[in-house]
Amino acid sequence: MAGKRCWKLEYSIFLFFVLGILLLIMPVSIESSRQANFISKWNEKFNRVEYMFSVINAHITDDMIKSMAKAKTPQERESILLAIVKPYLRIDTSTVPVSRHYRPRYMNGSRVYEGQRYFFDDFYYAENNTIVGIKDIKNEVSNDALFIMMFDMNGFLPPNRWGKDIFGVNIYDNGRVEPFGFESSMSELKKDCSESGTGVSCSYYYKIGGGFDE
């Protein structure tokens, strides 16, 4: 009898040990699966956006070019681009703009402040519950992109952080599209696409096969 009780005790300890390990592993596994899903959606979204601008560039009209050239403010240019991409991304401009309670953060948790490059004044609801931001930046540097766009892959749902569920692209003249971070070195990408970085460069890092667990 004593041997059986001892066996049962050892078996119970073993079960508690296994259960403890599972409880430690499960949150990490769930988070890894969720992040992998965001990355997969981002890769699909980038391919669509890249194709979208190639089509737009092939069918752009003189009126569109003239309208963009005549626009005097970044807001006017943003409105024109919004009108152009709206049908492709199924952006809904008929509803109230995204709430001010939606405040994206960098991967390290710090706020994105007004005046910073990746601060967007307005956000829009788009297909598959995503949120889209458009920003004109052509006056910052002569050889810079004309616009930047951001995409929150699951909309209002958390984490609402760059490199987690938020990614973005630079839009250049002639419809060329590049993910944020494409000009960075591998060491810079790894540093920025980490819990201590902004996460902005993850947009390119994940495109070239970088892993979120590296």
Say which residue the tokens 């070239």 belong to. 208
Q: Report the phi/psi class of residue 131: left, alpha or beta, with left for phi > 0 and alpha for psi in -120 to 50.
A: beta
Spans of all domains in the chain: 35-205
Cα separation, 199 vs 163, whole angstroms? 4
For residues 172 and 157, is the Cβ–Cβ distance under 8 A? Answer: no
Asked if residue 54 lies in contact with residue 175, where contact means CB atoms within 8 angstroms, the answer is: yes
Render each residue's pLDDT in the chain as its tens digit; 214 residues. 555 555 555 555 655 554 544 444 444 456 678 889 999 999 999 999 999 999 999 888 888 878 888 998 999 999 999 999 999 999 998 876 677 789 999 999 999 999 999 999 999 999 989 999 999 987 656 678 999 999 999 999 999 999 999 999 999 988 899 999 999 999 999 999 999 999 999 999 999 988 655 4
Give the pair of three-digit tokens for residue 197: 């970085």
Cα(170)–Cα(166) distance, rounded to whole angstroms? 14
Our CA angle for 98, 102, 106, nearest 5°, is: 135
Structure tokens at 98: 């995204």
Q: Map tokens 């490199």 to a residue.
A: 163
Structure-block tokens of residue 210: 């970088």
Beta strands in the chain (DSSP E): 123-125, 131-136, 147-152, 166-171, 177-179
Q: What is the largest CA-CA distance in the chain?
A: 93
Q: What is the pTM of this model?
A: 0.82
Instruction: For residues 105 and 209, give the distance between their C-alpha atoms in angstroms, rounded to a whole number.
Output: 24
